[in-house]
Amino acid sequence: MNSELATAVILDIEKIRKDFPLLQTKVYGKPLVYLDNAATTQKPFMVLQALDDYYARYNSNVHRGVHYLSQQATEAYEVARRKVAAYINALHEHEIIFTKGTTNSINLVASSFGRKFLKPGDEVLISAMEHHSNIVPWQMICEEKGAILKVIPINDQGELRMERFDELLTDKVKIVAVTYVSNSLGTVNPVQEIIQKAHAAGIPVLLDCAQAIQHIPVNIQELDADFLAFSGHKIYGPTGIGVLYGKERWLDEMPPYEGGGDMIKNVTFAKTTYNELPFKFEAGTPDIAGSIVLGVAIDYIQKTGLAAIRQTEEDVLNYAYNRLAAIPSLRFIGNARQRSGAISFLVGNIHPFDMGELLDKQSIAVRTGHHCTQPVMDFFKIPGTVRASFAFYNTRPEVDALVKGIEKARQMLD
C-alpha cells in the first residue's frame, strides 16, 4: 500500500450514494444491488446535469464556428481534453484523442500503427487475458500485414506467466498490447515491469486501462506507456466517449485512422494535407457533449479523491472476497495476488446464467458469461463465470445480499 493510500479515508458511502439517482431504484420491488460496474458504472447527478446543461445552454458544433455558442462549445471541449490530460498526467494536451471508447481507441492504434510499422513476419504480443477488443483488432491487422499474433499465457491463478513474457519478447515484436486490470479475473498486471522490459528492447506498449482508470491512479509519464485506452462510461461518464492517449512521437508518425472533416489542413482532389495533433485523429463532428461530460466525471472523481475511492473499494472487495470464500462449493476463477474491481466465481454445478437469473430475481445485478474474454474461459475449461464487480458506492450490506442470494440459489439448484 502506498503512503497516499495509507492516509486515505474510507468514504461516507451513504452520502455518496445520494449522488447517484439510479442507485435509489427498486427492481422487482426491492432496492437494486448493482454489482455490474465493470460493464458500466452509474452516473452522478453532476454528470447528468452537465449533459443537460450542454444541450440546453450551448449546444453547437466545435472548431468551425466564429459565433458565440460555437466558441463556448469549443472552449468546453478543449477544457475537457485538458482535464483528461491532467488526470493521467500527460505531457501534452494534444496527446489526448477523443474516441468512442476503449474498443475504438485500440482499433485506431492497431490500424494506424499497424499500417505504418508492421511487415510480414513481424509479431504483435498480447496476453491470454485480453478483452476481445484487445485481441480482434490486432488479429485483423496481423492478417492484413502478414504479421503474427503472439500471446503471453496465464497460470491457474489467472496471472501472467512473466517468464514466458521474457522469452516471447524477441526483436520480431513490434508492439506489446496488454490490459492493466483484467475485466474477467480482476488481476492487476505488473505493467511497470512489462513496459520497462519492452522499452529496454525498443518496443512500444499499449495499455488497456478500461478497468484501471476508475480504480488506480494512472500517471502516464511515470508509467511511460506509449498508448493508453479507456472508456468514459466505466469512469462515471457517458457511453460513446473514450480516450486514446498516445505519445507525441508515435502519433506524429502514424497515418490518420479515418478521413473527413476536422482532420484536414487542406483538401484538393489532387492531395490532402492533414491537421496537427490531436485533430488528425478526430475526423468528423466529435461527441462534444460526451467529452465535456467526461471532464465533469473526472471532476467528480477528483472531488471525491481517487485514493479514498480506492481505499473504500478495497474494503468492500476484501469483505466480498472473504464472505464469498465461506460459501461451500464456490470456487473463484482467478486468484491473483494483486486484484482490483471484479470477482469471478462459479458455484457447484450451477450454470452461471442460472445463477445470474436467480440473483436478478432478488434484484441483484451481476454479469454472467464469458465477459468478452473467451480465451480465458477456454483456459479454465468453463462456459463462463458469475462476475460481481464493485465501485466505491457499493456497501457491505450489498455484499451480504449477494451472499444470501447465492445461498438461496444454491439451495434451489445445486
Contact residues toward ligand PLP (CB under 6 A) are: 38, 101-103, 131, 133-134, 179, 183, 208, 210-211, 231
**Angle subtended by helix axes 288-304 and 45-53, to nearest 10:** 150
Q: Provide the minimum distance between the beta carbon of 310 and ligand PLP in the complex, in angstroms, as a whole number.
A: 18
In angstroms, what is the minimal distance from the CB of 16 to ligand PLP? 23
The H or E element spanning position 152 is strand 148-152
Give residues with Cβ within 8 angstroms of 86, minimum separation 6.
none
Nearer to ligand PLP, 204 or 237 (CB): 237
Q: Tell me the closest approach of the beta carbon of residue 133 to ligand PLP, in angstroms.
A: 4
Q: Give the nearest distance from C-beta 81 to ligand PLP in angstroms.
A: 19
Catalytic residue among 151, 372, 382, 413: 372
Retrieve residue 145's grid coordinates: 500485414
Reduce the DSSP state of residue 179 to 3 states and report it.
Answer: strand
As a whole number of angstroms, the distance between CA 332 and CA 276 comes to 48
Residue 395 in 3-state DSSP?
coil
Residue 289: CB minimum distance to ligand PLP, A: 17
Which residue lies nearer to ligand PLP by CB, 42 or 133? 133
Does 372 qualify as catalytic in the annotation? yes
CA dist 152 to 163, 164, 181, 201, 383, Å? 9, 6, 15, 17, 22
For ligand PLP, which is the closer residue by CB, 33 or 235? 235
- In the bound state with ligand PLP, the residue whose beta carbon lies nearer, of 112 and 211, is 211
Helices 288-304 and 68-87: crossing angle, nearest 10°? 40
By three-state DSSP, how is residue 31 classified? strand
Cβ proximity to ligand PLP, 183 vs 312, nearer residue = 183
Quote the CA–CA distance of 104 and 318 in Å, as a whole number.
33
Q: Which residues are catalytic?
A: 372
